[in-house]
DNA sequence: CTTAATGATTGACGTATTCAACGGATGTCG
DNA sequence: CGACATCCGTTGAATACGTCAATCATTAAG
């Protein structure tokens, strides 16, 4: 199956704009969304990346750094810097792994959980804006579809 | 509307994992998707960014660089480099704007259109993989939802 | 004609991403 | 036990990316 050609031999590209490419749409949505989110989180001096790690650090059981890095699709070396920042703020702490003393689990402190709660509420405003064009049902639908292709 | 709190004062974070955040899901989908796409396009020595610009250069009427930069949410200075790369390959050419000689329109050459057709077919394999968990209907649904929040 | 505004470009700066390498800690197999 | 391969976190370098101000040519406005 080859694409139709114009009379002069050049392949036609009509009817195949970028706006039909899921990849492009997701990149754009992600880019615009995190820009807006970063702006919102700026007042807590948090970036989206740090928020993500903090969120994981709040979950139970607390994840190790490799778990964080694979979940967030980040290089392990990047996680180091992010955790450093959060740790210096007293939002998380590194604990030696329970069964493996090589690993370190990232656990949110009480302050960290308070920070997360604030950030989470700010972020929900931001995503509400981003998804304003959709009804609540459609937002759930979108979440479900995205969850199925990423998890 | 504030989140519920635990008896000892620490805000609860249970039931609000990262996997419910549309922002996180989109970031992850976008990241994984473009990684896979870049891998596929590597054999044409093309990156997703270049592909996007090439796609726009194939459309009619040919866009100016500022139009490209605003559509792709990129700084104008970044577009320069991408277009340079494509131009040196002979895939696109810069033409002086019709009504405004400051602007330059980016137009795909015949070679560029052939390259785009190949790239587009490779990329469709990649996105088919990425979206394999969804039915054709659901893929359309996802596209529609994303289109409505980004355009 | 003067002035302001715009499109493309360059260069500078900070941040991200990717990789290779290292030290400490397990686990395995002889 | 002891040699070996593996894995975790960390560091540092190389590279790409994003953001911003400054510039030149061109256009629009006063």
pLDDT for res B52: 95
Spatial neighbors of A112 by CB under 8 A, at least 6 apart, are: A54, A57, A58, A86, A90, A91, A92
| Chain A residues lying within 8 Å of B18, measured CB to CB | 52, 55-56, 71
Q: What's the pLDDT tens digit per position in A88-105?
A: 999 999 999 888 999 999
Task: Name the residues contacting strand D (CB < 7 Å).
Answer: A 35, 64-66, 69, 76-77, 79-80, 83-84, 94, 97, 100, 102-104; B 47, 49, 74-75, 77-78, 99-102
Find the largest Cα–Cα distance for chain B.
69
Residue of B37, B48, B42 whose CA lies nearest to B128: B37
A72-89 CB burial, b ≥16 within 10 A, e <16: bebeeeebeebbebbbeb
pLDDT in tens, A24-82: 999 999 999 999 999 999 999 999 999 999 999 999 899 999 999 999 999 999 999 99
Q: Is the pLDDT of residue B10 over 50?
A: no
Nearest to B116 by CA among B124, B128, B127: B124
CB spacing of A26 vs B10 below 8 angstroms: no
Domain range A40-150, CATH class: mainly alpha
| pLDDT range class, residue A10, cuts 50, 70, 90 | very low
Instruction: State the DSSP H helix or E strand holding residue A95, giving kind and residue range, or none if neither.
Output: strand A92-96
Is B44-119 CATH 2.60.120.380? no
Q: Flag whether pLDDT at B143 surpasses 60.
A: yes
| Alpha carbon distance A82, A75 (integer Å) | 11
């Amino acid at each position: 199956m080859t694409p139709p050609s114009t009379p002069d031999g050049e392949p036609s590209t009509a009817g195949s704009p970028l706006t039909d490419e899921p990849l492009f749409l997701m990149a754009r949505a992600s880019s615009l969304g995190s820009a807006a989110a970063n702006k919102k989180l700026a007042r807590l001096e948090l970036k989206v990346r740090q928020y993500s790690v903090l969120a994981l650090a709040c979950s139970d059981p607390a994840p190790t750094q490799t778990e964080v890095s694979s979940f967030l699709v980040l290089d392990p070396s990047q996680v180091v810097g992010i955790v450093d920042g959060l740790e210096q703020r007293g939002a998380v702490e590194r604990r030696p792994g329970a069964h493996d003393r090589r690993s370190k689990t990232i656990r949110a402190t009480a302050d960290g959980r308070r920070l997360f709660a604030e950030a989470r509420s700010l972020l929900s405003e931001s995503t509400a804006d981003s998804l304003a064009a959709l009804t609540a049902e459609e937002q759930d639908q979108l979440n479900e579809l995205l969850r199925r292709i990423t998890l």
